[in-house]
Amino acid sequence: MALIATLAALGAAGLFCFLSILAGHRLFRWCALDFGNDTEHLLYCAALGVVLFEAAVFFLEAAGALRVGIPLLLVASAVAGIWELPLVYRRLALLVRRILSGTRGQKLLFAAILAVLLFEGIAAMAPLTGSDAMHYHFAAPSQVLQAGFHPDFFITSSFLTGQGHLLILTGLVLGSEKLAMGLLYLPGLLAATGAACLARRWVSREWALLAALAFLLNPVVFWQISTAGVPDLWMAFFAVAAVLLTARARADCSPALAAACGILAGGIAGTKYVGCIFAAAILLAFAWESRSLKRSAVFLSGALVAGIWPYARNFVWTGDPVFPFASRWLAPSRVNGQALASMLASTGASGQRSIAHLWRFPFFAAVDRANPGFWELFGPFCLVFFPLFLALIPRTAYWRVAVIITLGGGLGIGLTSGMVRFALPVLPIALAAAFAGAAAVTAEGGRIARGLVAVTIAGFLLFSAGALAVYARPAVAAAVGLTSREDYLQQRAPDYAVSKFVNRILAGKENEGNALVFFRHVYYLKVPYLYGNTEDSWAVDPTRLATPEAWREFFRQNRIRWVVRSPQYPKEITEPLEQLERNGELTPIARKDVTTFQGMRILGIRKTLTAIICQVND
């Protein structure tokens, strides 16, 4: 049954992609845009359909009509696109025929790509265990379904959720966590296809397929596409599609093309705050290619229509469109200094910058040595081969756009963050360019150069394939039913045992009030909760909650009936809470020793702690 559910969820994600293609195809036909290349045309259709779907879901969310509205929206998409079926089918049939008529080497590479995609897709269907996903990527949309659309100042990161999270919300509304994960798997497949299309502008089909395979086997990508539970790969897909489309801006002067490019840029900006950096780089590339203020204005209009909504939401709720980062200037009296400092540190925004440090980012050469892991390892391709692309590939429109967006996006991330993984959106572009550089040196260089290129590519692909097999094997076992859901979560999900304990003790008491919890991974909590860790909760400000009296009022205002101590309170608020315990105003009603992870989950170090549930006495 687990395998059937896994395949059904992957099929449902594929159906969503097909509906998006149909909707996008209809819109492009209305605009009289046809891009000739069938694969690229279908990619543009998928990108446009998804971005507009996300914008529609945002309005359904704001209107409180998600449960009824999303199924109706999907039906409407199907009805609107049904007339496109013959045309889309014809393009897909030609694409399949072209693949089947390829050389033996091309077929082997394509088979390898399909095998990797299948393995990663099955791994993505395992129960959710990603740390950030359990903290807010999935937890925040789940809270919207339970408590409605409103600001959650207890999970500060909930304000970072963008339009990609609306696809997670779509899966959860339809009752399937697996479908939500499938909708985060899709952009990996589409971005790999986009990387191949872009590389094909410079090199043979074999090299283009190698670029796609390298993208899928990249450790950062296989972490995100399989188990991470984050929507960042949608930015990567929109970015590579934007390169392909923007490179046509000089030859095609239509406002429709400008609007389409802007919509893709808006889709990137609307997914995550750092997406604004890549959207600005795309605008720069479009302005350079179009040489038209009027068309650039159309581009901006499309971007705003597509991607402004998360920023408008935050502005309405807080007065800060990029909450909490601008609050220190816009509303300094309401700033939680500790939470802001923690978020600046966790995003790398408070780190030091240097010229040498900045130039590592466009080449994916910066690594956080303090936190090593798959999320840091991009491999050698861009560092070794991208400079060859700059030197050896003819300076066509595709070269110019790829360079502007890769360098602009990479340097922008270097200036604003110390985390190279935030540069992921330009990875498919950089890899396509890197493999073009590798192909050029292979064609023009001697035997030693060709040998070094072959060893570099083969060595890292084999290493990455082995790393993927080791990393995703437990997830695949859970997805196909070899490991039960419960056992997998007990073994892999941080704080799952604590969540189970809280759910069991407070079951049936949901109407009595909220539980204030201090453990990070809250997705599997089934009772009403508020998150209270001082490093991540804007509402729990130690400077305002320094006395028992302040905590009594805080409990009353937020209907807090229980406080979960697991294992200790944050040190900044320990004294007043322990005083409430000594006064009998916080009474322990249940305790249990539970096992959870110590430090990063990938290290596999576990510890036992005592979880205590205290009742708030009036």
Q: pLDDT tens, 316-336?
A: 999 999 999 999 898 888 899
Distances in Å between the alpha carbon of 450 and those of 55, 104, 363, 439? Answer: 48, 21, 21, 9
Q: pLDDT tens, 561-583?
A: 999 998 789 999 999 999 999 99
Lowest mean pLDDT among 31-40, 72-81, 338-347, 582-591: 338-347
Q: pLDDT tens, 453-492?
A: 999 999 999 999 999 999 999 999 999 999 999 999 999 9
Rg (CA), the chain: 25
Locus of tokens 């687990």: 2
Lowest mean pLDDT among 10-24, 156-170, 359-373: 359-373
Of the candidates 220, 336, 349, which has an alpha carbon nearest to the alpha carbon of residue 274?
349
- List the structure tokens of 54: 């996300």
**3-state secondary structure string across 462-476:** HHHHHHHHHHHHHHH
111-118: long-range contacts (C-beta < 8 A, 24 or more apart)? 112/213, 113/192, 113/209, 113/212, 113/213, 113/216, 116/213, 116/216, 116/217, 116/465, 116/468, 117/188, 117/189, 117/192, 117/216
- List the structure tokens of 458: 């083969």
How far is residue 265's CA from residue 59's CA, in Å, rounded to a whole number?
A: 20
State the pairing for strand pair 586-597/606-616.
antiparallel
Mean pLDDT of the 242-266 span = 96
**Structure-derived torsion over alpha carbons of residues 324, 326, 332, 333, reported in degrees to the nearest 10:** -40
How far is residue 219's CA from residue 221's CA, in Å, rounded to a whole number?
A: 5
How far is residue 25's CA from residue 90's CA, in Å, rounded to a whole number?
A: 13
Element (H, E) at 609: strand 606-616
According to the model, what pLDDT value does residue 345 have? 81
Distances in Å between the alpha carbon of 64 and those of 149, 164, 191, 259, 321? Answer: 7, 18, 32, 29, 21
Q: Which amino acid is at 89?
A: Y
All residues at 6 or more sequence positions from 296 whose CB lies less than 8 Å from its CB, including other chains: 258, 283, 286, 287, 290
Percent of the chain with pLDDT over 70: 96
| DSSP strands (E only) in 492-585 | 514-517, 529-531, 560-565
All residues at 6 or more sequence positions from 558 whose CB lies less than 8 Å from its CB, including other chains: 514, 516, 530, 539
Q: How many CB atoms lie under 10 A from the CB of residue 194?
A: 31
Q: Residue 555 above 70 pLDDT?
A: yes
pTM to 2 decimal places: 0.95
Q: Residue 604 above 70 pLDDT?
A: no
* Packing angle, helices 38-63 and 232-246, rounded to 10: 130
* 442: confidence class by pLDDT, cuts 50, 70, 90: very high
* 351: confidence class by pLDDT, cuts 50, 70, 90: low
| 71-80, 232-241, 338-347, 566-575 — most confident range | 232-241
Q: Across-strand partners of 530?
A: 516
Percent of the chain with pLDDT over 90: 83
* Packing angle, helices 177-199 and 205-217, rounded to 10: 150
Which letter does DSSP use for residue 203 in this model?
Answer: S
Q: pLDDT tens, 36-75?
A: 889 999 999 999 999 999 999 999 999 999 999 999 999 9
Q: Residue 167 above 70 pLDDT?
A: yes
For 556, list phi and psi in degrees, rounded to 5.
-65, -45
Distances in Å between the alpha carbon of 581 and those of 314, 479, 516, 586? Answer: 37, 44, 15, 5
Q: Across-strand partners of 563?
A: 516, 614
Locus of tokens 């500060």: 156
Q: pLDDT tens, 95-114?
A: 999 999 999 999 999 999 99
* 230: confidence class by pLDDT, cuts 50, 70, 90: very high
According to the model, what pLDDT value does residue 202 have? 97
Contact 235, 257 (CB under 8 A): no
Contact 185, 13 (CB under 8 A): yes
Q: pLDDT tens, 359-417?
A: 888 898 877 665 556 567 898 999 999 999 999 999 999 999 999 999 999 999 988 87
Contact 413, 360 (CB under 8 A): no
Q: How many residues does the chain have?
A: 618
How far is residue 34's CA from residue 172's CA, in Å, rounded to a whole number?
A: 35
Q: Residue 557 above 80 pLDDT?
A: yes
How far is residue 362's CA from residue 39's CA, in Å, rounded to a whole number?
A: 27
Domains of the chain (ranges plus CATH)? Answer: 2-474 (no CATH), 497-616 (3.40.190)
According to the model, what pLDDT value does residue 589 have? 95
Q: pLDDT tens, 495-517?
A: 999 999 999 999 999 999 999 99
Contact 24, 45 (CB under 8 A): yes
How far is residue 62's CA from residue 316's CA, in Å, rounded to a whole number?
A: 12
Q: How far is C-alpha 360 from the geometric centre of its chain's CA atoms?
A: 22
- List the structure tokens of 553: 């009022």
Mean pLDDT of the 414-429 span = 89
- List the structure tokens of 232: 């960042």
Contact 57, 20 (CB under 8 A): no
